[in-house]
Amino acid sequence: MLQLMKLLPLLCLLGFVPAQAHEFWFTPVPNPVPIHSHVKLALEVGEQFEGDLVGFSAPAATALVHYTKMGHEDLMPLLPKAAPVGDLQLPLTTPGTHVLVFDSQPRTIELPAEKFHAYLHDEGLNFIKVLREDAGTADKPGRERFRRHVKTLIHVGPRARANAAPDTTFAMRTGQRLEVLPLNNPLEMKAGAALGIQVLFEGQPLAGALVKAWHKRTGQTLIIRSTTSSDGKVLFNLPYRGAWMVSVAHMLPTVDEQDLDWDSLWGNLSFSLP
């Protein structure tokens, strides 16, 4: 059973993080993980692939699901209904690839026009700035509702034999509204190999999205940027072993709330390159 672990500082648990802290991810787990062991799941929020831990709780989530080649398990009933917990201990009893998926509840933020436009530029969302200019609202604050759609990959047990049936769990579509889908298994790659990524919005390829691959090395953050093709795909050469994440943002006008202007979705995939 999933075990609830230590509490973290109150501010992190309640989600009071700087407004400029855009990225949100599962802490990558070193691979492979021994079978019949436990792994600590943690969520982080921050900048430059350096984050503060964020707690797990039912009120903060809309989905927490564990996928393997044997099926999937809904972990939401195991989350606390009140005070968040800092991390979760997950038992791993099935060999092969495991996918953990977390979707957040929406939160709102308002930024001054200058900061909002700078953030749009950084995330490849300049088309929103054009829409604001066309509507004559470019000098007004950006009123936004945002949601997080993150996942992480873990390999459990020994590597599969060469003649074994392929484990395609890594490429399973989980139904996230904004989904970062690997096209080959990064848990079986070597440093320097290429990782294909497809970005899906509501199940369809998202063209023209800015996708970033992040890695920390010798105290420096490496960011590789690429823009999705018409079929929502990008290709990254990952030069180093260790922890990586891939992130993307998408935005569209809000249609159901008069006090908000924009809905943003933040997709993220994390893993450790062996």
220-264 pLDDT tens trace: 999 999 999 999 999 999 999 999 999 999 999 999 999 999 999
**Cβ 270 vs Cβ 24: under 8 Å:** no
pLDDT value of residue 272: 97
pLDDT value of residue 11: 34
Residue 76 lies in a domain: yes
pLDDT value of residue 133: 97
Tally the domains of the chain.
1
Domain residues for the domain of 139 are 3-176+241-273
pLDDT value of residue 82: 83
* CA distance to 51, 120, 129, 147, 213, per residue, from 240 (Å): 20, 29, 35, 30, 12
Residue 133 lies in a domain: yes
* CA distance to 43, 151, 217, 218, per residue, from 15 (Å): 11, 19, 27, 29
Closest to 67 in 3D by CA, of 44, 104, 87, 92: 92
Low-confidence ranges of the chain (pLDDT < 70): 1-21, 162
Residue 211 lies in a domain: no
Backbone angles phi, psi at 20, to 5 degrees: -80, -5
Residue 187 lies in a domain: no
Instruction: Give, as one character, the DSSP assignment of residue 34.
Output: P
Residue 113 lies in a domain: yes
Residue 213 lies in a domain: no
pTM (2 d.p.): 0.91
Residue 182 lies in a domain: no
Spatial separation of the C-alpha atoms in residues 24 and 5, rounded to whole Å: 20
Backbone angles phi, psi at 183, to 5 degrees: -95, -15
Residue 223 lies in a domain: no
pLDDT value of residue 25: 97
The 10s digit of each residue's pLDDT in 135-167 is 999 999 999 999 999 999 999 998 777 677 889
| H-state helical runs in the chain | 10-13, 113-122, 126-135
